[in-house]
Amino acid sequence: MSKSANGPTRQKAPRKPRPSIQPPLETQDGGDPRAALGEIIYTERMRLGISQEELAARAGLDRTYVSGMERGLRNPTFLVLLRLARELAIDPAILVRIEIRKAPTNL
């Protein structure tokens, strides 16, 4: 126990991660949807002929964040996807037009 102005306090035990009750999402070919999104971002950025740094600056993001998205390591928020679509001059739906493998049904 440590002391604070209000007396002794207990340190919280670290939380254990909860097991996922959802099966992992996969694309039709068994890939990670984040990697599929990254390929779309990369392809559209190359189409415009701009660097990650340029796209990041235009979208108000850090270059390392753009890099992480392109490599499938980041989960961008909805608002980030909208900003990327604007700066890539594409319909936002293009960024999420990824076919997900359907989960097996156990009836």
Instruction: Give the domain CATH number at 39.
Output: 1.10.260.40
Question: Would 68 be classed as within a structural domain?
Answer: yes
Is the pLDDT reported for residue 2 higher than 60?
A: no
Question: Would 73 be classed as within a structural domain?
Answer: yes
pTM for this entry = 0.70
- Is pLDDT larger for residue 2 or for residue 27? 27
Judge contact between 92 and 82, C-beta under 8 A: yes
Q: How confident is the model at residue 8 (pLDDT cuts 50, 70, 90)?
A: low
Is the pLDDT reported for residue 14 higher than 70?
A: yes
Give the range of the structural domain holding residue 63, as residue numbers without chain letter: 33-94
Please compute the mean of the pLDDT values over residues 7-33 and round it to a whole number. Answer: 69
Question: Would 71 be classed as within a structural domain?
Answer: yes
The total domain count for the chain is: 1
Query: Residue 89 and residue 4: Cα distance in Å, rounded?
Result: 54
pLDDT digits (tens, 9 = 90+) for 24-76: 667 777 788 899 899 999 999 999 999 999 999 999 999 999 999 999 999 99
Please compute the mean of the pLDDT values over residues 77-100 and round it to a whole number. Answer: 92
| Per-residue pLDDT at 84 | 98
Tell me the HSE value of 34 on the side-chain side, using a 13 A CA sphere: 12
Question: Would 22 be classed as within a structural domain?
Answer: no
H/E stretch holding 39 reads: helix 33-48
